Copies of this chain bind each other. A is one copy, B any other.
């Protein structure tokens, strides 16, 4: 028979079980934190009508989309979780309570050119808070505390949540008569870390912005100091339009409360350079960097938008949200060996029967499971050596070998596979469970 080569598409992550265990742990940490802050789960389809999914999209996004016909229907795979959220909120408006706090963790699809560390299928872990008509700026201040909690739980210390407000930038552009260029300018500024100051100046010149105004833009994004000093310097710029004033008020309040929400000074800062390319965001924007690994780019980003779903509904639905691209994060952390897929088994205990009559070993396994010990029983008729090798390869923490002696004496030995230590105890599930719980 001709064999098909078993292979997985490039740009699609497929992990070995030990890596998958670690991936699931990270995903669970993120989900548990979202729940800790009271966010509600939703789960939307991966396939949507193209007409619905692409109601707003265009340009780059559209090119990357997996789009196809099924029968007469024009379908697309979701490329993020934000458009499905917009659809969901517009569709279920009457059945939701606002502010609507939702989380969604799921796979999204982008047919990008394959390159190392870029994925065509990847998990996004999103939260958003959607207001009905209005949404307090305090929500913008709460999100960084969620980012902080997650990255702390994931084991990081030295990371910075960079916060900015697009209204400051827009106010500046208005002041220098460049409002119509603002999207373009934002896009350029956003790249300053990547392409450097000279290149930014060059690109701004290409937009026919006067040197004087380019200087103003650069002075603005180069404002230095503590958060308080930066806020003062912003005020001193004396930019007198409404958008700038609003931005200054919002960022001042946001920064004040981020601290109250428990994020230490060293883990957040006002960064006037970040704009989050997309013209989607209208107020607060966030990026998060692991300071020793800036090359990873932002590991958690997001921001405030004035209108979640204006292409579906007349209702004004302002929101603020963040997203973690977990697949890429996992890949990069693994590559940098900042995480290690050490755990190879889900089982805590392997019972190895070495006798004909399996009744008692099987019963013990069931009892231990009922006591919440993840228990596996080796069921194939193999030599002890083969069975031990299995336990060894999977690094199952504990094993109990049960032979005729153990049955007769009503005693078992729990072997700690890491230390080699053996603890003898009665052939009794409760006692065994207690011992295992105590060691772990």
Contacts and interface: CB of A to CB of B under 8 A. Distances in A.
A107 B8 contact: no
Contacts of A142: 377, 379
A24 B32 CA distance: 13
Contacts of A16: 92, 95-96
Interface residues of A, number: 101
Interface stretch (A47-55, A171-179, A202-210, A224-232): A47-55
Nearest to A102: B17
A390 interface: yes
A156 interface: no
A362 B12 contact: no
A41 interface: yes
A194 interface: no
A40 B218 CA distance: 53
A39 B37 CA distance: 31
B3 A37 contact: no
Nearest to A390: B97
A81 B192 CA distance: 45
Interface in A355-375: 358-359, 362-363, 366, 369, 372, 374-375
Contacts of A48: 8-9
A375 to B, nearest CB: 7
Contact of A42 (B9, B20, B394): B20
B313 A359 contact: no
A138 interface: yes
Contact of A38 (B98, B347, B362, B381): B347
A250 interface: no
A302 interface: no
A8 B45 contact: yes
B310 A1 contact: yes
A162 interface: no
Interface of A: 1, 3-9, 12-17, 20-21, 23-24, 35-49, 51-52, 55, 66, 68-71, 73, 75, 86-88, 90-92, 95-99, 101-102, 107, 109, 111, 120-121, 131, 134-136, 138-139, 142, 145, 149, 257, 260-262, 309-314, 345-347, 350, 358-359, 362-363, 366, 369, 372, 374-377, 379-381, 390, 393-394
Q: Which 10 A-B pairs have the closest CB atoms?
A: A38-B376, A68-B68, A38-B347, A138-B379, A4-B55, A6-B90, A12-B45, A6-B312, A17-B40, A6-B91
24 contacts: A1-B310, A4-B312, A6-B91, A6-B312, A9-B47, A9-B75, A12-B47, A14-B44, A20-B42, A23-B43, A38-B345, A38-B374, A47-B120, A68-B68, A70-B111, A71-B111, A97-B393, A136-B380, A138-B358, A139-B379, A142-B377, A145-B366, A261-B366, A262-B363
